[in-house]
């Protein structure tokens, strides 16, 4: 049962254009959503997050939108740069019991930004 | 500063051999620690997490086990590896603060042959 879904395994965009990465989730109890970026043979690095009580969070070229009614979030990268080429993971924070939490990840989307 | 160390970076092991991967963190105390695996064509799957010494929670039934002998040490083990254990293993620790995210180690690429 996959609670966090990234239905697009890959995305290719031109440098300077907008990249939109999508993520859907099924568990309405998730309270935080995060995006991670991963290069080959490296661990994921945190990119941006959003609380479930907000619908938008912006950090430089990166903006995350959350639509709670649709259980959908998206990451927008504007303008896209070749260095943005990586696998992007969507993650959701859920309660693991007591005051402990855990992150559930999607399968990732490979973004390729072409010069 | 807070850092996380994970080793080895790559490992090739025969089927049936044992496994021990180690993860240590520095610059913090009593962190929540996690082991994730990324198998080919799959996302990041949570294997184990620990909220303290000797406390291990398993997420999926499998051929692996975890231990936390010290506050900042997390070990992933197997007595007999299977081909399906191949993958990219990541250790992570929970960072407090506004982002509520994790910091990941650099990972171990395990190939079982």
DSSP A6-36: ---SEEEEETTS-EEEEEEE--TT--EEEEE
Q: Which domain holds residue A85?
A: 4-114
B32 touches chain A (CB under 8 A): yes
Bridge partners for A63 per DSSP? A58, A76
Q: Which residues of A touch B (CB under 8 A)?
A: 4, 6, 32, 34, 36, 41-46, 49, 89, 91, 93, 96, 100-108
Q: What is the pLDDT of residues B56-94, one digit of tens each?
A: 988 876 789 999 999 999 999 999 999 999 999 999 988
Q: What is the pLDDT of residues A62-101, one digit of tens each?
A: 999 999 999 999 999 999 999 999 999 999 988 766 667 7
The stretch A21-47 carries a mean pLDDT of 92
pLDDT at B100: 62
List, in order of start, the domains of chain B with CATH numbers.
Answer: 3-112 (2.60.40.10)
Task: Inspect the interface and report whether the beta carbons of A41 and B107 lie closer than 8 Å.
Answer: yes
For residue B35, pLDDT over 70 is answered with: yes
Classified as helix, coil or strand, A84 is helix
Query: How far apart are the CA of A21 and the nearest CA of chain B, in angstroms?
Result: 15
- Measured between CA atoms, the residue of chain B closest to residue A5 is B43
pLDDT at B51: 87
For residue A21, pLDDT over 70 is answered with: yes
Nearest partner of B109 among B13, B4, B26, B23, judged by Cα: B13
Sign of CA dihedral A78, B90, B54, A98: positive
CATH at A57: 2.60.40.10
**Residue bearing the bigger pLDDT, B49 or A74:** A74
pLDDT at A101: 76
pLDDT at A95: 73
Total number of domains in chain A:
1
pLDDT at B29: 80
Q: Are B85 and B38 in contact (CB under 8 A)?
A: no
pLDDT at B96: 57
């Amino acid at each position: 049962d996959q609670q966090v879904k990234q239905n697009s395994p890959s995305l290719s965009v031109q440098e300077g254009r907008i990249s939109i990465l999508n993520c859907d989730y099924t568990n309405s109890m998730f309270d935080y959503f995060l995006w991670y970026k991963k290069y080959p043979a490296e661990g994921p690095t945190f990119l941006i997050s959003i609380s479930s009580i907000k619908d938008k969070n912006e950090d430089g070229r990166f903006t995350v939108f959350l639509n709670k009614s649709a259980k959908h979030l998206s990451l927008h990268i504007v303008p896209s740069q070749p260095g943005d080429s990586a696998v992007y993971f969507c993650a959701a924070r859920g309660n693991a019991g007591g005051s402990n939490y855990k992150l559930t990840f999607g399968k990732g989307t490979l973004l390729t930004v072409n010069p | 500063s807070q850092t996380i160390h994970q080793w080895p970076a790559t490992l090739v092991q025969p089927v049936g051999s044992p496994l021990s991967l180690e993860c240590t963190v520095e610059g913090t105390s009593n962190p929540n620690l996690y082991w994730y695996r990324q198998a080919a064509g799959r996302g990041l799957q949570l294997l184990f997490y620990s909220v303290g010494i000797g406390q291990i929670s398993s997420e999926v039934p499998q051929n692996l086990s975890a231990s936390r002998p010290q506050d900042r040490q997390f070990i992933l083990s197997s007595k007999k590896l299977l081909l399906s254990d191949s993958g990219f293993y990541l250790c992570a620790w929970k960072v407090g603060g506004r982002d509520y995210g994790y910091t990941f180690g650099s990972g171990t690429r395990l190939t079982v042959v």
